[in-house]
Amino acid sequence: MRRRIRVVEIAEVFEAIRRRSDLPDPFPPDVLGEAERARPVGGSREDLRDIPFVTIDPPGALALDPAFHLEPRAGGGIRPRSAIADVPAFVTPGGALDSEARRRGTTVYCPDRRIPLHPPVLSEGRASLLPGEDRAAVVFDVDLDSTGDVERFDLVRATIRVRERFDYATVQSAFDAGDPPEPISLLRRFGETRIARGIERGALSVRLPEQEVVRVGDRWTIVSRPELPAERWNAEASLLAGMIGAEIMLDAGTGILRTLPPATEDATSTLRAVAARLGVDGADEVTPAELLSGLDPALPRHLAVFEAATRLLRGSGYVGFAGGSPAGDVQHAGVAAPYAHVTAPLRRLADRFALAACVAAASGRPAPDWVTEAVEEIAATMEKTEGRAGQVEAQCLNATEAWVMGERIGDRFLAVVLARDDKATEIWIDDPPVLARAAGIEAEPGEVIEVEVEAIEVDSGNIRFSRTD
């Protein structure tokens, strides 16, 4: 009975977090009605149903935005095609569905439910790239040479049919066994080649442990799993589409970019100093991208270096522009190239506008008025709503961490020290996977120390630790 009461209480905490954040829910009747009636429009489409597109997603995902296909080319090159759900074809500009999506901005993922950008009948049904169904898509068609450089690209509206749906663990197991199925047999070579090109450009990969709140039986808990190589390979397809989308919009003079300013000299110097102090060879002789690519997140001292690297990735935002090039630096420092969000229009508002701008430019037409008139507004909306979503998701995670540790008061754990400032020391505990700021603990990044749980506050997500070694 005690556990059942705790489940009810943590569910109430999640709901309180949503209420404080003023998340929009449920959908108004006129929005639901428009979504029910929505059918894809937008003129002629290429019939690409003979191409065996596949998706790779977490188990249980229903809003399937990107699908891909990889084809070998003569000379060792690869032809990747990325198919994106053609959400602009379903949403009438100025309609109820459009207005509600502008209010929401992005899907918010809470442990017990998600607050979607679009009604599920659209985002998890008619527009989702579900296997075995004819679907409207925008297809990025690219030729890469043997080194992973882009030789040619095109963008078309098409009808596709996804052949198969995979999850990351299944794909990784197939590659580990040396027997990946034909539709994804080129994924490792594609991913590793593009990752190598990214490192050469200066792209940054910060591989800290990922935490996920899950329900096991009648209670909530936290799990952590290392990032699988297959996830990184698959992500390269979206990154490639995003870089090509940015190039198309910059050439056309209208669009929405995802930006990140260059790392400050202070952040870079701190990264090198932390790495050198923790025994990473050659920290002063390689670029930050090369430094991070050689680290192993399974090593406590390398975790501390990854944490220091997060300071290189601060200040991200969106830039909307029309009628010419945007002012200022348009690079995304993490990608080390201009970049745009284009691969998740079912879950992110900006992608719909960026896709529409890309399709128009690729067809030799100016962007639609509903795009050019709104790009700056959409960029501002994305910054606001993504910030809100990030806060909600972080607060739910923090509350669950405190909830889980509420059963472990008085227990002792080994913890890796990730960072330290004037107010607290940031620590990572492997089991249960908890990332926390511990006030009053003296320790240096990279140290492994023993801590005891003294008290918790679920509503605020605070956990009080003391050092016991």
pLDDT of residue 4: 39
Helices 349-362 and 375-405, packing angle to 10 deg: 140
pLDDT at 120 over 50: yes
Q: What is the per-residue pLDDT across 9-37, written as a single tens digit (0 to 9) for each? A: 788 999 999 999 999 989 999 999 999 99
DSSP state, residue 106: B
59: left (phi over 0), alpha (psi -120 to 50) or beta: beta
Residue 216: pLDDT band by 50, 70, 90 thresholds? confident
pLDDT of residue 3: 37
pLDDT of residue 254: 98
Residue 43: pLDDT band by 50, 70, 90 thresholds? confident
Q: Burial code of 95-124, b = ≥16 C-beta within 10 A, e = fewer?
A: ebbbebbbebbbbbbbbeeebbbbbeebbb
C-alpha–C-alpha distance, residues 60 and 109, integer Å: 13
Residue 8: pLDDT band by 50, 70, 90 thresholds? very low
Q: Which residues contact 103 (CB under 8 A, 6 or more apart)?
A: 24
Q: What is the per-residue pLDDT across 145-163, written as a single tens digit (0 to 9) for each? A: 999 999 999 999 999 999 9
Average of per-residue pLDDT across 353-379 = 97
Most confidently modeled range among 178-182, 271-275, 349-353:
349-353
Q: What is the per-residue pLDDT across 54-71, written as a single tens digit (0 to 9) for each? A: 999 888 777 778 999 999
pLDDT of residue 32: 98
Q: Burial code of 324-352, b = ≥16 C-beta within 10 A, e = fewer?
A: eebeeebbbbbbbbbbbbbbbbbbbbbbb
Residue 383 burial class via C-beta count within 10 angstroms: exposed 0-12, middle 13-18, buried 19 and up: middle
pLDDT at 335 over 50: yes
Q: What is the per-residue pLDDT across 73-105, written as a single tens digit (0 to 9) for each? A: 999 999 999 999 999 999 999 999 999 999 999
pLDDT of residue 217: 83
CA distances from 121 to 110, 248, 317 (A): 20, 31, 30
pLDDT of residue 285: 92
Q: Pull the structure tokens for residue 400.
A: 């669950």
pLDDT of residue 61: 77
What single letter denotes the amino acid at residue 429? Answer: I
**Cα 9 off chain centre by:** 30
pLDDT of residue 50: 97
Number of Cβ within 10 Å of residue 132's Cβ equals 10
pLDDT of residue 317: 96
pLDDT of residue 2: 36
Q: What is the per-residue pLDDT across 186-200, written as a single tens digit (0 to 9) for each? A: 999 999 999 999 999
pLDDT at 262 over 80: yes
Q: What is the per-residue pLDDT across 291-332, written as a single tens digit (0 to 9) for each? A: 999 999 888 899 999 999 999 999 999 999 999 989 888 999
Average of per-residue pLDDT across 350-363 = 97
Percentage of the chain beyond pLDDT 70 is: 98
Least confident of 344-348, 368-372, 416-420: 416-420
Nearest to 420 by CA among 434, 397, 440: 440
Residue 6: pLDDT band by 50, 70, 90 thresholds? very low
Contact (CB, 8 A) for 137 and 158: yes
What single letter denotes the amino acid at residue 97? Answer: L
Contact (CB, 8 A) for 274 and 445: yes
pLDDT at 1 over 50: no
C-alpha–C-alpha distance, residues 248 and 240, integer Å: 12
E-strand ranges in 295-383 read: 317-321, 331-332, 337-338
Q: Burial code of 139-160, b = ≥16 C-beta within 10 A, e = fewer?
A: bbbbbbeeebeeeebebbbbbb
